[in-house]
Structure 1
Amino acid sequence: MRFLAWRIGVFIAAAIWPMLWLYEALANFLGPDPGKVLVDRLGLGTLILLLVTLCMTPLQKLTGWAGWIAVRRQLGLWCFTYVVLHLSGYLAFILGFDWSQLGVELGKRPYIIVGALGFLGLLALAVTSNRYSQRRLGGRWKKLHRLAYPILGLGLLHMLWIVRADLKEWAIYAFIGAVLLVLRVPAVMRRIPRLMGRKEPFATKT
């Protein structure tokens, strides 16, 4: 109950965007190809949510506030929800559920393979995000969930392959991802004090 309002806020903030985009598509506000726009927005939303999720532990260590960690799992599950919607939109709006076309698309657009690998990684993290998996896997759980960083790399590569003509927005996300990766370096972690005056070193959680 301690962070209930915070969790409700995260739920509303994450849920409202797909509903808004769907409304815009139904109202013909997304141009001549609303399906593609939806797929692109859901893909970008997945990347942003993954970055936000990975920010939670550094923010907790910097500020000492436990609320960041309280919503980390929730944000991760929303990230997986977005990627499921992204994949579903691709199958529905781009392929029209024509599975024979999938092989052609894979040959013409290898970034789909990169995206599929990222999806499988997020699936593994989502399935093992519960407390039962934490107890069952023990120390291996942390190692598994460090896959979030390679998955972020796959997501950035997937996006880079798509938006090659305009790299400005991509560079922002790549820079944030690089900063988060640097914060994982133990030597860097030890040199960043908490803003709230506590002296504990950074943990190595995802």
Structure 2
Amino acid sequence: MARLTMARRSSRDRLWWWAVFVGCALPLAALGGWAATGDLGVNPIETIVRHLGDWALRLLVLTLALTPLRHLTGSTRPVRYRRMIGLWAFAYAVLHVTAYTVLDIGLHGPTLVDDLTQRPYIMVGMAALLLLIPLAATSTTGMIKRLGGRRWRRLHRLVYAAGLLGAGHYLLMVKADITQPMIYIALLGLLYGVRAGRWLAGRPV
């Protein structure tokens, strides 16, 4: 009976893993479908760059929401997929910057250095990506063991700054309606506030 229960649990865990993986991959597949059918709108380059950036930020915010969700529900399942979702967020961020560098800058002339100096939102976005690099590089179980749990946790607190920089990048980039970036900023403020409250109360964050 115990062996059967463990088999069912393992099967359920695999299904959840694949569901999360496919969910994270779907926006990229959708973008590929739009490109294949020529359905990228009047400005295909902007559509590609913005779509990738939007999903990088969405998944980054989602990773930050998983621990508060665990505290709220009492279930450890949400945090089991935090590493995968975080790596997907990093992948979308890298693709976002790559698409911008290759498609936008590559086709329209100015260099990345020019953009960094003339457009503050580019510098803020690049700072967010740079903070995500060490987090992605140390996401394996082996790296956690090498760094030690305490040092690894300290290093991965950079994700809080990366989240704010990502939302700030979005806010600075928008020229008119700032509703969407402000929603992300409000969500991050709520998530950070929950963590701060638990920390002040001496509870795990």
Determine if the TM-score, normalized by the shorter chain, exceeds 0.5.
yes
Mapped partners of 1:135, 1:4: distance in 2: 24
Shift >3 Å, 4+ stretches: 97-100, 186-190
RCO (CA 8 Å, sep 6+): is it higher in 1 or 2?
Answer: 1
Residue identity in the other structure for 2:105: L
The match for 2:140 is 130
Give the drift of 1:132: 1.4
Say whether the 8 Å CA contact 2:171–2:182 is kept in structure 1: no
| Corresponding residue to 2:35 among 9, 21, 25 | 25
The C-alpha deviation readout for 1:26-65, integer Å capped at 9, x for no partner, is 3222223212111011101111101111111111111111
C-alpha contact 1:36 1:93 (8 A) present in aligned 2: no
Amino acid at match of 1:27: T
Larger helix fraction of residues: 2
Gap change, CA 1:94 and 1:177, over 3 Å in 2? same
Alignment of 1:139-154 (within 5 A): 139-154=150-165
Q: Which runs of 5+ in 2 are unaligned?
A: 1-9
Mapped contact 2:70–2:76 kept (Cα < 8 A):
yes
Alignment-mate amino acid for residue 204 of structure 2: A
**1:11-160 equivalent positions in 2, closer than 5 A:** 11-96=21-106, 101-138=111-148, 139-160=150-171
Unaligned runs of 5+ in 1: 191-200
**Amino acid in structure 1 at the alignment position of 2:39:** F
Q: 1:98 Cα shift? A: 8.1
TM-score when scaled to structure 1? 0.87
Distance 1:72 1:46 in 2: 14
Q: Distance in 1 between matches of 2:64 and 2:19?
A: 18
Change (3 A) 1:142 1:49: same
Question: Residue 20 of structure 1 aligns to which amino acid in structure 2?
Answer: A
Q: 1:66 to 1:56 in 2, by over 3 A?
A: same
Q: CA RMSD in A?
A: 1.9
Distance (Å, rounded) in 2 between the aligned partners of 1:116 and 1:97:
20
TM-score, normalised with respect to structure 2: 0.87
State the Cα distance separating 1:165 from its structure 2 match: 1.0
Q: Note if contact 2:59-2:88 (Cα within 8 Å) is conserved in structure 1.
A: yes
Distance change (3 Å), C-alpha of 1:105 and 1:65: same
Residue equivalent to 1:203: 204
The amino acid that maps onto 1:185 is A
CA–CA distance in structure 2, aligned partners of residues 98 and 121 of structure 1: 28
Q: Is the 8 Å Cα contact of residues 118 and 151 (structure 1) preserved in structure 2?
A: yes
